[in-house]
Amino acid sequence: MLRPPLHRLPRPPRRAASRSGSTSGGPVRPVLLSTPIFYANGPPHIGHLYSALLADALHRFRGLRGADPGRLSTGTDEHGLKIQQAAAAAGTTPPELCERVSGLFRQTLTQAAVSFTDFIRTSEPRHQRAVQHFWGALRDGGALYKGAYEGWYCTPEECFLPESQLKECRDAQGRPCKVSLETGHQVHWTKEENYMFRLSTFRDPLRQWLQDNPRAVFPEPFYQRVLRWLDDDLPDLSVSRERSRLQWGIPVPNDPTQTIYVWVDALVNYLSVLGYPEVHGQWWPCAHHVVGKDILKFHAVYWPALLLAAGLAPPERILVHSHWTVRGQKMSKSLGNVVEPSSCFTRYTVDGFRYFLLRQGVPERDCDYYEEKVVKVVNSELADALGGLLNRSTAPSINPSNTFPHFSEVCFPKLSDHSGMKATGRAAAEDYELVAAVAALPLQVAGHFEGFQIYRALECIALCVRQSNGFFQRHKPWKLDRRDPAEQLWLDTIIHVTLECLRIYGMLLQPVVPHAADKLLSRLAVGPDERSLSSLTFLPRYHGEPSPFEGRQLGPDTGVLFLRLDKAPQ
């Protein structure tokens, strides 16, 4: 192969971790949060939905904290050999197949209350123009050369795989073949003349980028995985296919014999949504990509290298999550165990299923779906613990005036150190522990969101909800005599503290269960302009401060917060 002279490699910019965060000392720049764009060869499943929900929760949380929420992009990846073949097998054309499948993804994400601001399709003219300009930047920078390429090509993954990532196997007819170690997909030996990207020359710039930005790839195990990849062979990357093999794609500028490789095409979507090449600089590189671990190499090795070659900085953060299995098995059409989101919304409600995936999903390890687990989590934590507490504390028999009652400092006096002093009012030591736990909750939750550990945030909330139920049950307000003024004061205080706890939970759950949180906060008469997390205070009356909610009429009773789900049939 003939290679052009080595071009000068740009040094990756060093960036402070808080550049686009709320703790930055300088001006805060809005962030582009993105999901992967989903391949349009089949309908959405819960793995796609999980990526989108993680990004959506982060986007919503950012807005609730008073910062500019920025943008949330998603969409569909519509080019490549896999789609060309799927369309032929279905007796349709690639544009018709993509139109239908892209519509399914948009419909599913809208149904799931994903608050995307941009839905990009790689078949759109704005994207094709951006890809061709990006290709021109790579070419003009000397990062491309043309040469004969041969290797093992995996059509389902749309990439060449090195021998080290393959294993010997037998196909359905018992013939020997090679398959991908990671996915099990079969590969075929392919030889063709392509354009190549000089990936091998970007090893040191990529290492420098990661060294300067240790949270660029997160969580930590995935950061270490990328570093290990950079220690391995880093062969130059084929970035085009012969047009005779692949017609369904964006042609290489000024070379009608070649089609731009689908992954290069797809990755540029993050620039297309920002108006590349004219106005992307208002946003880039303040981009946070939420991706599955199966596409980590494309996002953390190939994409940053391509950006550097095109004269652009790598994205600020790449947030990585693992996969969902079904009863311990990988989802696959052949096993018939692919879980479609729409059926889950019908079975568990939209908020119920959002809560389950974000509560049980752990980014660092694969998580398992089965119906009994969803029912147990939703019933115990949403229907019983959270919904039951709201129902009990607002019931007419407990709160006949349907108000946010007054708090009594006599019954619940403030203690500077609740662990070392004996309470003089009616409150017990456990009650002070509850107040301290709920007061600390907003910062805990914020820290877990910032650390891409949403499941831990929900774990903390669930623990406090259990403590609040313990508080209510411990003091048995239904047994207090309203005719006794002292008892009435204590009864009102119990309800006031309980409703304050519920208000905090409703506020913090808004990014995860938006419909249920709205229902809860509306029942507590918390107005739309009182739901920001930027000025959230808990139980101000305990600290001698006025409460805007004290004495306020509660909102209308619209029924139970969460209906209990029926147990899964055996």
Q: Which residue has the higher pLDDT, 466 or 166?
A: 466
pLDDT recorded at residue 336: 84
Lowest mean pLDDT, pick from 237-246, 371-380, 491-500: 237-246
526 is written with which tokens? Answer: 């918390």
Token pair recorded at residue 367? 């998580």
12 confidence band (pLDDT: 50, 70, 90): low
Averaged pLDDT, 92-118: 97
Helix 350-360 with 454-475: angle, nearest 10 deg: 110
Which of the four pLDDT bands, split at 50, 70 and 90, describes residue 159? confident
Average pLDDT, integer, range 143-170:
84
How do strand 317-321 and strand 287-292 relate by DSSP bridges?
parallel
149 pLDDT tier (thresholds 50, 70, 90): confident
- Residue 214's nearest CA partner among 12, 9, 449 is 12
Cα 552 → chain centroid = 36
CA distance 308 to 261: 18
Q: What is the pLDDT of residue 6?
A: 44
List of residues 6+ apart from 195 with CB closer than 8 A: 144, 145, 146, 238, 239, 240, 252, 255, 258
Q: Give the confidence band of 133 by pLDDT, cuts at 50, 70, 90.
A: very high
Question: CA–CA distance from 403 to each of 393, 394, 501, 555 (Å)?
Answer: 11, 8, 15, 9
Q: Please give the average per-residue pLDDT across 361-369, as a whole number.
A: 95
* pLDDT attached to residue 191: 82
How would residue 422 be classed by pLDDT, with cut points 50, 70 and 90? low
**In terms of pLDDT, which residue wins out, 151 or 436?**
436
Sign of the torsion angle spanned by Cα atoms 77, 79, 81, 87: positive
- The structure tokens listed for 45 are 């499943």
C-beta neighbour count of 559 within 10 angstroms: 10
Task: For residues 263 and 296, give the distance between their C-alpha atoms in angstroms, rounded to a whole number.
Answer: 12
CA 85-89-90 angle, to 5 degrees, is 120
Residue 10 has pLDDT above 90, yes or no: no
pLDDT at 189: 87
Q: Which residue has the tokens 């014999």?
A: 257
CA–CA dist 221, 541 (Å, integer): 45
- State the pLDDT confidence band at 570, using cuts at 50, 70 and 90: low
Is the model's pLDDT at 62 over the cut of 60? yes
For the segment 449-460, the average pLDDT, to the nearest whole number, is 97
pLDDT of residue 21: 45
pLDDT at 405 over 70: yes
Asked if the model's pLDDT at residue 499 lies above 80, the reply is: yes
Mean pLDDT calculated for residue range 544-561 = 95
Q: What is the average pLDDT across 142-162? A: 83
Mean pLDDT for the stretch of residues 160-178: 85
Closest listed residue to residue 259, CA positions, set 464, 84, 410: 84
Q: Indicate the pLDDT class of residue 78, thresholds 50, 70 and 90.
A: very high
Residue 348: which pLDDT band, with cuts at 50, 70 and 90?
A: very high
Instruction: Give the model's pLDDT for residue 245.
Output: 87
Instruction: Say what the pLDDT of residue 339 is.
Output: 92
**For residue 311, what are the contacts with CB-CB under 8 A and spacing of at least 6?**
10, 137, 141
Instruction: Write out pLDDT tens, residues 209-244.
Output: 999 999 999 999 999 999 999 999 898 999 999 999
Report residue 107's pLDDT band, with 50, 70 and 90 as the boundaries: very high
The CB-side HSE value for 249 (13 A sphere, CA atoms) comes to 31
- Distance from chain centroid for Cα 102: 20
- Looking up tokens 């007061």, which residue turns up? 439
Contact between 367 and 324 (Cβ < 8 Å): yes
Interstrand relation of 159-161 and 317-321 (parallel, antiparallel or unpaired): unpaired
Q: Is the pLDDT of residue 554 over 80?
A: yes
* Tens of pLDDT, residues 264-318: 999 999 999 999 999 999 999 999 999 999 999 999 999 999 999 999 999 999 9
Count of positions (residues) in the chain: 570
Can you tell me the mean pLDDT for 14-37?
62
pLDDT reading at 541 higher than 90: yes
pLDDT band at residue 175, thresholds of 50, 70 and 90? Answer: confident
Grade residue 569 by pLDDT with cuts at 50, 70 and 90: low
- Rounded to the nearest integer, the mean pLDDT of the chain is 91
CB-CB neighbours of 90 under 10 Å: 12
Residue 19 confidence (pLDDT): 43
| Domains of the chain by start residue, with CATH | 32-321 (3.40.50.620), 374-553 (1.10.730.10)
Q: Is the pLDDT of residue 8 over 70?
A: no
Query: Residue 18 — pLDDT band, cuts 50, 70, 90?
Result: very low
